[in-house]
Amino acid sequence: MKARTSLAFVTEGWEAFQKLSGLRHIENSADYDELVVLADMLVDAGAMQATHPCHSLFQVIADLIYAYDQRHYLQAEVHGVDLLRFLMEQHDLRQSQLPEIGTQSVVSEILAGKRELTVNHIRALAKRFALSPAAFF
């Protein structure tokens, strides 16, 4: 297939897909709201699971939503310890339930600001909570 023919095929497919799904670059809050609804439907359908056939589509939509949020909404700076506290609260965890960090006393020292999260702590926490390690920096 020639490059021009291939591009024409992609263009036709993209136009049809856009009409069907509503997926496009987010230009305004109405576009944003539409993609959030689509993302929610995909979450409800199980598309957050890597084995779901629409997982990649969900990831693309999540990236578009994230990029729009970063451009339009000021984000408070969150430090790794603040994120750790939030995750503990959301998952109803006690200090002794974080083997990724170590003993309860180590967790306590980190939460009190007496110790820092190490790279190994961050990697393990990121894996446990399915987050990017960058979220802790």
Q: Provide the pLDDT for residue 77.
A: 75
How do residues 63-118 score in pLDDT, each as one tens digit? Answer: 999 999 989 987 777 789 999 999 999 999 999 999 999 999 999 999 999 999 99
pLDDT at position 137 is: 83
pLDDT given at position 6? 81
- Closest of 118, 111, 119, 121 to residue 89, by C-alpha: 111
Q: What is the pLDDT of residue 2?
A: 57
Fold type of domain 80-136: 434 Repressor (Amino-terminal Domain) (1.10.260)
8 Å CB contact between 54 and 42: yes
What residues does each domain of the chain span? Answer: 22-75, 80-136
- DSSP assigned state of 117: P
What is the per-residue pLDDT for 74? 78
